[in-house]
Chain A
């Protein structure tokens, strides 16, 4: 049966096609997009099917690459946690792939579409692989695959993107190396690289210094990759200067995958009690994240450039996820896991709006949004939904994850972080209502307001379907995830929690 190979196929297929698409592009550029979309569509199918199987069978799917038994061979595991994240990643990347072609306006770059698609698929390969793998070293390799393609594809962006990509690379490599070192320490102590195996072997060794050093290295490596304060400095430059279509993929996904790995390391590879009791890093994490959230929110407030503002928001949102993880209790972790997927869709919808406006007006400055609601009603509406979700207005999904995070933090007694979270959501409100005000209201001088109604015929923003469909889809997902939040939490996320946090 082919279905049992889905865990491998979801990584192998985009990897293969990424090279095929390059070759196809030499002969027929027109065929590239259908090919890419078919591949990504299949990935969506694989991930949905796997999640469905996990839910119906109630047990994780184990797949042994090449038939080798773990812990010697590489094992791919799909359980509730990464099954859920996989669906998010594959769906986002499918629609980002659709938008990619539209987003490239530069003639010189247009002739390089096949290369774009190659890098894009490699990126997706890496992200899906990181999520699906059950092997810590394999994770490193896939992390680097995702990172390379990110460096290369970011460098194709607007002026200064090359330098931003270089800086990103310095930080990214440092993060990857730290992660690799951490893996090395765990390997010295246990002789195993399989996550499941490690989680069995490690508890006996928790007092060992090697393990603690390894743990710290792992965390700092992941921290850099997920753009955690204070090692987030690479993030705003590289994501805001990347080609718009690319930041729709990169910005929502890369950091969230990092957050997923953080949860995996802290609560699957290590027993939750390690990071709460034996070596209490959660307090430190929560504190660092609080400072980071404050810092990022204030910096976001200072930006005039919308895409840069969104980038700082990502840093803040990562802080939210860390809040949830560091609460280390039932509600907090539900919030963190839910926020990973919610934030993917929120950020995707906002970045695609920023991208569309950037392409239409040639600037991502806030002034580009002036009077947008007349020219582009759909885009402005998507902006509205995304903004509401970030601010946390029910029934958009952002509210629900925030609600769980608040509950988790109250339960964990982290009042400082809680205050920071609330302040930051206020700052988000200021940010977005400033933008909404620019988008929807046209300030007029005193007394000149009675102009009757302007008759602008309604059009779908003069955009092609390739940008409209993803935009509308992301926005509707933001609402859908909110409305279905109860079902998702009840049937997926609760089971994705580590044993210690259930109930």
Chain B
């Protein structure tokens, strides 16, 4: 029963597990790079969630090849909108990562470390 419940919505469970891993990384890791990785997992899990909600059983890509034979039915095609949205979100994610890496390089150059407590220590001086 429980198993069925989990399996039926397995895509949600995957995203929940991933998001928790990401959250854990962001909150607890002292190493800024690890924090960043956690953040990335956090972001990508949401993207997976979006992509999974667009899919349907026995459906195919929403590219209509043959419009003459029969009217296209929405049930035959997966919902393309979440995918399109996620293209934007991926770009956003990449940009965030880019800025984050730049900041990390900057922090490493200035303080010689990317450990959070050591940076704070260095800033206190």
**B26 in contact (CB, < 8 A):** yes
Known pairs A169-B103, A173-B43; A144 contacts B26 (CB<8 A): no
Interface positions of B from 95 to 122, Cβ below 8 Å from A: 95-96, 99-100, 102-104, 106-107, 110-111, 119-120
With A141-B88, A160-B123, A169-B99 given, is the CB distance from A177 to B46 under 8 Å?
yes
Chain A residues whose C-beta falls within 8 Å of the C-beta of B85 in the assembled complex: 137, 193
CB nearest neighbor in A for B105: A162
A155 interface residue per 8 A CB criterion: yes
Query: A163 is contacted by which of B26, B95, B96, B107 (Cβ under 8 Å)?
Result: B107
Q: How far apart sit A281 and B55, CA to CA, in the bound complex (Å)?
A: 33
Lowest 9 A-B CB distances belong to which pairs?
A144-B92, A160-B123, A166-B103, A162-B106, A162-B107, A151-B99, A163-B119, A177-B46, A173-B39
Give the distance in Å from the alpha carbon of A193 to the alpha carbon of B84 in the complex.
Answer: 13
Contacts of B23 on A, CB cut-off 8 Å? 174
Residue with the highest number of chain A CB atoms closer than 10 Å, among B26, B53, B92, B106: B92
Which of A137, A169, A180, A181 contacts B96 (CB under 8 A)?
Answer: A169
Interface assignment of A426: CB less than 8 Å from any CB of chain B: no
Min CB distance A389 to B, Å, is: 33
- 14 A–B contacts from the bound complex (CB under 8 Å): A137-B85, A140-B89, A140-B92, A144-B96, A151-B103, A162-B106, A163-B107, A169-B39, A169-B103, A170-B26, A170-B35, A174-B26, A174-B39, A184-B53
Q: Report which B residues bind A (CB closer than 8 A).
A: 23, 26, 32, 35, 39, 42-43, 46, 49-50, 53, 82, 85, 88-89, 92, 95-96, 99-100, 102-104, 106-107, 110-111, 119-120, 123
- A12 at the B interface (CB under 8 A): no
Complex formed: what's the CA distance from A324 to B88 in Å? Answer: 35
- B100–chain A nearest beta-carbon distance, Å: 6
Closest-by-CB residue of A relative to B35 is A170
> Does A155 contact B106, Cβ atoms closer than 8 Å?
yes
Question: Which B residues are in CB contact (< 8 Å) with A184?
Answer: 46, 49-50, 53, 82
Do residues A187 and B82 form an inter-chain contact, with CB atoms below 8 A? yes
**B21 to A: closest C-beta gap in Å:** 14
Residues of A within 8 A of B104 (CB): 166
Main secondary structure of the interface of B (DSSP, over half): helix
Are A181 and B49 touching (Cβ within 8 A)? Answer: yes
Chain A 173-200 near chain B by CB (<8 Å), digits 1 or 0:
1101100110010011000010000000
Residues of B within 8 A of A438 (CB): none
A residues with CB within 8 A of B: 137, 140-141, 144, 148, 151-152, 155, 159-160, 162-163, 165-166, 169-170, 173-174, 176-177, 180-181, 184, 187-188, 193
Assess whether A159 is in contact with B123, with CB atoms less than 8 Å apart.
Answer: yes
A148 to B46, CA, bound (A): 19
Q: What is the bound-complex CA distance between A177 and B44, given in angstroms?
A: 10
| Pair A173/B50 contact, Cβ less than 8 Å | no
Q: How far is the CA of A180 from the CA of B19 in the complex (A)?
A: 13
Partner of B99, one of A148, A177, A180, A181: A148
Q: A180-B46, A187-B82 are in contact. Are A162 and B92 (CB under 8 A)?
A: no
Smallest beta-carbon distance A170→chain B, Å = 6
Residues in B whose Cβ lies below 8 Å from that of A180: 46, 89
Q: Evaluate contact between B95 and A162: CB separation under 8 angstroms.
A: no
Contacts of A160 in B (CB 8 A): 123
Q: Is the CB of B123 within 8 A of A163?
A: yes
Chain A residues with CB under 8 Å of B119's CB are 163
Contacts of A152 in B (CB 8 A): 99, 102
Whole-angstrom distance between the alpha carbons of A160 and B107 in the complex?
A: 9
| B85, B95, B107, most chain A CB atoms within 10 A | B85
The interface residues of chain B lying within 8 Å CB-to-CB of A169 are: 39, 96, 99-100, 103
A175 to chain B, nearest CB (A): 11
Smallest distance from the beta carbon of A108 to chain B beta carbons, Å? 13
Give the distance to chain A from B119, nearest Cβ to Cβ, in Å: 5
| Pair A165/B103 contact, Cβ less than 8 Å | yes
A170 touches B103 (CB 8 A): no
The answer to whether residues A148 and B123 also contact, given A166-B32, A177-B46 and a CB cut-off of 8 A, is: no
**Assembled-state Cα–Cα distance A59/B109 (Å):** 55
Residue of B nearest to A151 (CB): B99
Q: Which residue of chain A has its CB nearest to the CB of B91? A: A141
How far is A152 from B92 in the complex, measured between Cα atoms in Å? Answer: 14
**Knowing that A140-B92, A166-B107 are A-B contacts, what are 4 other residue pairs whose CB atoms are under 8 Å apart, sorted by A's residue number?**
A140-B89, A169-B100, A173-B42, A176-B92
Contact A148 B42 (CB under 8 A): no
Contact B49 A177 (CB under 8 A): no
Residue of B nearest to A188 (CB): B53
Indicate whether A174 sits within 8 Å of B106 (C-beta atoms), given known contacts A169-B99, A187-B53.
no
* A176 and B92 alpha carbons, distance in the complex (Å): 10
Contacts of A163 in B (CB 8 A): 107, 111, 119-120, 123
A8 to chain B, nearest CB (A): 17
CB-nearest residue of chain B to A143: B92
Q: Is the CB of B42 within 8 A of A177?
A: yes
Q: Provide the bound-state CA to CA distance between A187 and B50, in Å.
A: 9
Q: A180-B89, A181-B49 are in contact. Are A148 and B96 (CB under 8 A)?
A: yes
In the complex, the answer to whether B95 meets A148 with C-beta atoms within 8 Å is: yes
Residues of A within 8 A of B111 (CB): 163
Q: In the complex, what distance in Å separates the CA atom of A184 from the CA atom of B15?
A: 13
